[in-house]
Amino acid sequence: MRIDALPDGPPSQRWHVLGDELVTVRPARPEDAGRIGEYIRGLSFASRYRRFLGPVNELAPADLHRMTHGNDAAPPALIVETGDGDARTVIGEARYAFDGIACEFALSVSDAWRGRGVGTLLMGIMEERAKLRGAHYLVGDILRSNQPMLALAHKLGFAVTRPVLDDSLFKVTKCLSRLDAVQTLNEGLSRELPVAA
Ligand SMILES: CC(C)(COP(=O)(O)OP(=O)(O)OC[C@H]1O[C@@H](n2cnc3c(N)ncnc32)[C@H](O)[C@@H]1OP(=O)(O)O)[C@@H](O)C(=O)NCCC(=O)NCCS
């Protein structure tokens, strides 16, 4: 897999994903609300369930507003698109929000674009942005049955723990600062001990 940044920089970044196919990653804008809503409706029920940790058919206007405007804790969503102009299609989205020293993420990739590096690309961008904002940890809640996301998190070096209050979830945590990484290893969250009760 080859992913190269092209030099046109934020807010619109172009990347190669697998061979000649180009995708754009950029923060969502207010006028994207309709297209993001359509993208979410186009995901399979299982994908939406995994993304939102429950049965969601479509996003409420308030959710779309948050995704396209952001707020103090969370920047606008990142969206991944193919095509140009009116032919643009949303093929992935990611949200990240800051809570003290942690940055929490959630993302999805369209069913047709799975396994081509889009999820890895979004995770990498969120990690960079979390570091820039000074977050010490990148964290996410993942359904225990969500093997693709757990595999992706494992591949990217996240430690996996079981939240005390919700049996259906794993929490994945990646330390973004060296000091915290040492501390986390001392607390037994190393990759040799992937699941701590
Ligand atoms: C999880 C998800 C985002 C992965 O996106 P993706 O673009 O397919 O991921 P990538 O192509 O970057 O895959 C990277 C790694 O993830 C793992 N992975 C991805 N899909 C997998 C699958 N179906 N089975 C097992 N591992 C998988 C692999 O380790 C893969 O590395 P490899 O290609 O070297 O084997 C996507 O499956 C998705 O949108 N799922 C529904 C929503 C969701 O679960 N969101 C997570 C909530 S936080």
Structural domain boundaries in the chain: 3-190
Q: How many helices (DSSP H) and strands (DSSP E) are in the chain?
A: 6, 9
Higher pLDDT, 22 or 135: 135
126: left (phi over 0), alpha (psi -120 to 50) or beta: alpha
Q: How many CB atoms lie within 10 A of CB 24?
A: 18
Separation of alpha carbons 72 and 191, rounded Å: 33
**Rounded distance, CA 42 to CA 25, Å?**
19
- Say what the pLDDT of residue 15 is: 67
Task: Report the pocket of ligand 1 as residue ranges, CB < 6 Å.
Answer: 47, 50-51, 106-109, 114-120, 140, 142, 146-149, 151-152, 155
Q: For the domain with range 3-190, which CATH number is right: 3.30.1490.20, 3.10.20.30, 3.40.630.30, 2.30.60.10?
A: 3.40.630.30
Calculate the average pLDDT of the chain. Answer: 85
Q: How far is the CA of 196 from the centre of ligand 1 (A)?
A: 23
Closest protein CA for atom 4 of ligand 1: 119
Tens digit of each residue's pLDDT (9 = 90 or more) over 155-185: 999 999 998 888 999 999 999 986 655 555 4
Q: pLDDT tens for residues 44-69?
A: 999 999 999 999 999 999 999 999 99
Nearest alpha carbon, ligand 1 atom 15: 152
CA-to-CA distance for 87 and 35, rounded, in angstroms? 12
12: confidence class by pLDDT, cuts 50, 70, 90: low
